Structure formats: C-alpha cells, structure tokens
Chains A and B, each alone.
Chain A
Amino acid sequence: MPEEYTSLVSALKALTQGTAPDPVITLPMAENEWNTRPDADSYGIVALDFEADALYGDNLKQITAYEGSVDLFSRSKDGAGWVELIVATLTEYCEGAWSLNSHQYERENNIFHWEWVFQVEG
C-alpha cells in the first residue's frame, strides 16, 4: 500500500483527485496508526462508490459530486477509538456532507461494522 494512503484524509484526497489507482482503498488500522498490521482487529475501507450529482455550465461538467463510504470493521464494541477519529475526519474533510448509514453486528464473526456515507467534490 502506498505510504500516502496510511491516513483516512490522504486516502480521501487520493480518491477525489483521481490519483488512486483503485477506487477502493483498504486501510488496516491498529494501535495509534493506520496500516501498521495486516491482521489488525480493526480495519477500514474507504471507497468512492458512484457519481452522485453534477453541475453543468457552458456545455461542460463543471462540478462533480461523488458519493463514497467509509466502512469500519472492529472486534471492539466501541471501535477501539476509530469511530471518533473517522467522525472528526469526515467533519473536517467533507464538512456536513456525511452521515452514519448503518451500524451492524456480525454474530458469526463477532465483528462490529460501521458504515458512513459522504459526498465530496471531485
């Protein structure tokens, strides 16, 4: 994984600026840093899912809004602190254009799953 993807913000930037080779970025998370341990008990996936809206002017697409999602999978009930970090990052990077879409529990695997949806200008 490229070094610049080790934080949520850099992953979001790479996705929205089209510099990411893959539209889905997985960020294993553990301890105090992202991408420190592949078998981490918590990991996140940031993805741009689809083009949500566009503004046209002068026969050209002037602004494109993309809808994406951040998924956090964690064995910890409180997300091992990543929930607060993701919420703070989304608030800063996406301003108000995000929401918690779902919060689920996989009984078979004992994993908690948070799913945030955001919109960013591409």
Chain B
Amino acid sequence: MPFMIDISGMKELQEKINKLKEKSQNAAAMALYEGARIVADEVGRSVQGITTEPFHYAKSGEKRKPSPEEKAAIVGSPHGVARFRKKLERIDTSVGWNHAGYVDVNWNHMNSKARTNYKAVNFKGSSHTASSTLKWIREQGGSEKYGLSQDIGRHAQNQKPVGAIANAINSGTSFMEKQPFMRKAFNRSKNEAVEKIEQELEKRIEEMIQD
C-alpha cells in the first residue's frame, strides 16, 4: 500500500544551511585574527631584543649591526595584522610592518607614505609623524644623550623604507649582521596562536549551531 510522508521546514533548513557557509567564513576569519594578534604581539616584543651599534659603514668583508636609528625606525612604526585575503575557500593574512608589505616584504618606499599621512609612535608611546619623532629625539639631547650615532634620524630624513630595514636585519645582507627576530617571534608564538584559533573556532561554531 503506497504511503506519503510530509516533511515541513525543508525550505527553512535549506536557508539555514546556506547561511552557515557565510557565517563559517566569518567565524574562521575572526578566529584567525585572534591567533594572528598573538603573533603580532610577540613580534613587537621580539623587536626590542635587536642589538645595535653606532652607525658606521661596514668595511669590505665585514658586517655591521643595525644602528639605534634603524631600530628606532622599526620600533616606532606601526605593525600588526594585515588585511585578510580570501583565496577560493581559504582565508589568510600576514603579520608585520605596514610599510613592509607585511612578512612577505615588498619594497614599498616610505617616502610616498611620509608625504601623505605617515604615522610613527615615538619612544614616549604617543603617535607622531616621522619628522616629529626625529625632532623629539633631538630635543631630548639627541645622539649623545642616548649614546646614538651622530647621524640620528638619518632614516627619517632620508625616508628609507621601514620594510627594507626590517628585512635587512631579519634576513641579513652582505653588510648587515643577521638577527632573525621575526622567525624567533613566530616560533615562540605559534603554539599559542594555533591553540587560540582552535578555541575561537570551537566557540564560534557552537554559537552558530545554537543560533
């Protein structure tokens, strides 16, 4: 004997499933951000460990350490989590310096940024332009007081790209001693970051299901 089954709410279920896809991408992005933030914070701490010496040109066959001004340029520049990129079903981001094109360093020149609205955070922790940071360093007694080399602010004046300086210190060059502060920071923070992403994902998926 033939029989029929009525199922109600299929349309609503279908709509809910469709929304889940959209929501899951947002949840993944939010979780990724939480993890990336941990990495970015660690990079900020790692930068403080860069060792310096007064600026001098490296002799042939020798390498020099970064100057205090070069370190100051990195410390004083904003860094953080990049805009998220969506590639097919994948979402990814980078951590690093704004003017560096983030970790995968490109060679954007800070000059163009400086003419527009370049902001740097000086030693006092407040937001200033690159030139006002330089002015503040000079007002505080400049190079002699802080044991910095005489060409203080050289990088602010010449508008060297922060990304290039960071990259030269991190990877080393034929004239610059290598101090892989980025890799150290990634290594130190990766477990915590992955754990945080997992936690956030679990939390957000649970919220989505209950919604």
A interface residues (Cβ-Cβ under 8 A, vs B) = 38-39, 45, 47, 49-50, 52-53, 67, 69, 71, 73, 101-102, 104, 106, 109, 111, 113, 115, 117
Which chain B residues (148-186) contact chain A, with CB distance < 8 Å? 167, 171-175, 178, 180, 183-184
Given A104-B171, A117-B183: A69 touches B61 (CB 8 Å cut-off): no
Task: For A53, list chain B residues within 8 Å (CB).
Answer: 187
> Which residue of B61, B172, B174, B178 is within 8 Å of A39 (Cβ)?
B61
In the assembled complex, the CB of A98 is this many whole angstroms from the nearest CB of chain B, namely 13
In the assembled complex, the CB of A66 is this many whole angstroms from the nearest CB of chain B, namely 11
Ordered by A's residue number, 24 sampled pairs between the chains whose C-beta atoms are within 8 Å are A39-B61, A45-B178, A49-B183, A50-B180, A50-B183, A50-B187, A52-B187, A53-B187, A67-B187, A71-B172, A71-B178, A73-B174, A101-B183, A102-B171, A104-B167, A104-B171, A106-B174, A109-B174, A109-B175, A111-B174, A113-B172, A113-B173, A115-B171, A117-B183
Task: For B180, list chain A residues within 8 Å (CB).
Answer: 49-50, 69
A69 touching B174 by the CB < 8 A rule? no
Q: Residue of B at shortest CB range from A52?
A: B187
Interface of B, secondary structure class, is loop
Given A39-B61, A117-B183: A47 touches B171 (CB 8 Å cut-off): no
B interface residues (Cβ-Cβ under 8 A, vs A) = 61, 167, 171-175, 178, 180, 183-184, 187
Task: For A106, list chain B residues within 8 Å (CB).
Answer: 173-174
How far is B2's CA from A32's CA once the two chains are assembled, in angstroms?
87
Q: Given contact pairs A49-B180, A106-B173, A109-B175, enumerate 8 new A-B contacts (beta carbons under 8 Å).
A: A38-B61, A39-B61, A49-B184, A73-B174, A113-B171, A113-B173, A115-B171, A115-B172
In the assembled complex, the CB of B173 is this many whole angstroms from the nearest CB of chain A, namely 6
Task: For A38, list chain B residues within 8 Å (CB).
Answer: 61
Task: For B172, list chain A residues within 8 Å (CB).
Answer: 45, 71, 113, 115
How far is B172's CA from A111's CA once the two chains are assembled, in angstroms?
12
How far is B163's CA from A104's CA once the two chains are assembled, in angstroms?
14
How far is B184's CA from A53's CA once the two chains are assembled, in angstroms?
11
Task: For B183, list chain A residues within 8 Å (CB).
Answer: 49-50, 67, 101, 117
Task: For A45, list chain B residues within 8 Å (CB).
Answer: 172, 178
How far is B187's CA from A50's CA once the two chains are assembled, in angstroms?
9
